[in-house]
Structure 1
C-alpha cells in the first residue's frame, strides 16, 4: 500500500496469506486484475479517497468537554490528551456510538479551555491509495474456514495514516519531559549483578 502525506511518501507492506477468492472481500478492480495473473506477476491499482476507507466526514470532527476524555482508561496511569495523538475511542464518554470496549483510534486535534477537539475519521480518509500485490503462490483450497471471510482492505488500512500530521500541524510528542525515566537510580546498581 502506498499513500502520500505532506511530510513523506509512505509504503506499507503486508503478507496476505491464504487469500480466498471465493470467500474473501477485495475491491472489484483488484479482484479482476489478480484473477488473470500467475505466480511471480504483480498488479497495481489506484484508489481515490473514499474507495478503501470512508471519505472524510466533517461531522466526525467535533468538540467535547474535557470531562468526556477518560484520563483513567488505563488503571494506575493518567492519560493526558495531546494535539495530534491517537487514543482508543473507548476512553471517550458520552459520545454517540462509542462504547468503552472500542479500541479503534481517534485523534485528538485540539486541547483548549476545558474542551477537546476530536477527529473520529479514519486517518486515510482524504488520501488516494495505491495497492500493489505480488502473487507468491497459487494453490487449491485445502482448508475450510467455517464461513469466515477476510476483508483485505480493512486489514490493510488498520494502522496506515497514523504517521501523518493532522492538517499539517505538529503532533505533540514532547510535552512534560516524555523521556524522563521512571527509575532515576544509577544504572550501576542494576548492572552490579550479572544477569
Structure 2
C-alpha cells in the first residue's frame, strides 16, 4: 500500500506492507473492498479520498486549551521530556482531556504554548489532507475456514501512528530544540571513537534494497555523487555510471566499500565545511548518519553549496544507530517526527525545492538476517529529499 498526500512544505509517500488482508472480515476505507475483490496477483487499485473521508475529519471541538501543568512529564534515559510547540506526544501525556485515557498512545499535538497554558490538538495528523491510496496485490491465497482470529482496520494500520506527524502545523516551524538536545552520551573526540574500523551495517538486506531503490529513482543516470558520512556498506544503486566520492570517518571502512571511486577522511562535527568547490556534485547522499551530526544545519547548508543547480540531496535513515554518539534530541522523537526534523533542515537552507518524504514499513525481515529471532519485521526506511533551486 502507498498512501500519498501533500503538506504545504512537501510531498509525502507512505509505503506499508499489509499482511494477511481478509476481504470478508477486515475493515477498509470507502470503496476499497469492492475495488480489491476479484483482483489477481499484480493488480493495482488507486483511490482518491477527500479530507476526512478515509480518516476522521478535522473537528475544532478536539482542540483544547489546558493548563501547562497538566503535561505528564516523563523521564527517558535520564532526560525530562517537556512540552514543545509543534511537537507530537502520546495523548495520554497531554492532561485530563475528554475521552482521553492516560494509556492512550495515539499522537496529539501541542499547537500553542506559553508559560501557563498549552493548546493541544487531538485531531488525526492527516485530518486536513486529501489522500491518494494505491494498493498493489503481491499475493493472493484461497480463503480457508476460520473460527476466529484478528479483525484489522487497515486505515488505522496505515495511518494512525506516524503519517502526518512530519508536517509542520500551519507552516510554522516545530520547536524541536530541547536543552542539551545536540549533546550525546559519549562526548569524547569522534576521531577516537571511529579510529578503529567497525565493519557493521545498520540495515537488513531488504531495507537496504529499498533504500537503494529510492536512490536509483532520484539520482541522474551519470551523476557525480558525494556519499556523505560514508562507511563500508554502500546503499548506492547498482549503476556503474555513477561516480561516487566517499567522505567519512574511517579509511578502512571506506576502502571496503566497493562503490567508492575515491574517498576522504573528514570529521564534520569538528569542521562542517565540506572540502569541495561550489557546484562540484550532481547529488549528495547521506545514509544512516544524520543523527550523529552536532551541527546538522551547517552541514546541509554546505551540501547545498557543493550541489549544482538541479542537484539532488537525499537523506536516508532508519531506527538503528550507535546510541552513544546519536544526539539526544533525535532519540526523543517519534520516527515520523525525525522526518519532520530533517525536513526542517532542508527548509532552513532556503536552497531546495520539490521537497519529498518517503517511508517504507512493515516488510518481512530476510530469514538469514542475524536479528530474525528478535523481530520478523524489516528495518523501516525513511528518506527526505529535495532539488537545489
Is the TM value for this pair above 0.5? Answer: yes
Between Structure 1 and Structure 2, the one with more strand by share is 2
- Unaligned stretches of 5+ in structure 1? none
Aligned length: 195
Q: Runs in 1 of length 4+ with deviation above 6 angstroms?
A: 188-195
Q: Structure 1 residue 157 and structure 2 residue 159: aligned?
A: yes
Relative to structure 2, which stretch is displaced further, 27-36 or 51-60? 27-36
Q: Does the C-alpha gap of structure 1 residues 193 and 31 become closer, same or farther in structure 2, counting only changes over 3 Å?
A: closer
* Cα-to-partner distance string for 1:12-39 (whole Å, 9 max, x where unaligned): 0011121111111113411111114222
Q: Does the C-alpha gap of structure 1 residues 124 and 83 become closer, same or farther in structure 2, counting only changes over 3 Å?
A: same
Provide the TM-score with structure 1 as the length reference: 0.89
Between Structure 1 and Structure 2, the one with more helix by share is 2
Structure 2 distance, partners of 1:192, 1:78, is 33
**Aligned positions of 1:118-157 closer than 5 A:** 118-142=120-144, 144=146, 146-157=148-159
Q: Does the C-alpha gap of structure 1 residues 98 and 41 become closer, same or farther in structure 2, counting only changes over 3 Å?
A: same
Q: CA deviation at 1:81?
A: 0.9
Are the counterparts in 2 of residues 123 and 162 from structure 1 also a CA contact under 8 Å? yes
Q: Structure 1 residue 176 and structure 2 residue 159: aligned?
A: no
Provide the TM-score with structure 2 as the length reference: 0.46
Taking CA–CA contacts closer than 8 Å with sequence separation of 6 or more, which of the two structures ends up with the larger relative contact order? 1
1:12 to 11, 14, 33: 14
- Unaligned stretches of 5+ in structure 2? 199-389
Q: Does the C-alpha gap of structure 1 residues 126 and 155 become closer, same or farther in structure 2, counting only changes over 3 Å?
A: same
Relative to structure 2, which stretch is displaced further, 89-98 or 116-125? 89-98
In structure 1, the residue matched to 2:170 is 167
Q: CA deviation at 1:74?
A: 5.0
Structure 2 distance, partners of 1:89, 1:73, is 17
Q: CA deviation at 1:141?
A: 2.3
Structure 2 distance, partners of 1:176, 1:73, is 14
* Cα-to-partner distance string for 1:144-173 (whole Å, 9 max, x where unaligned): 371421111111112211110011111111
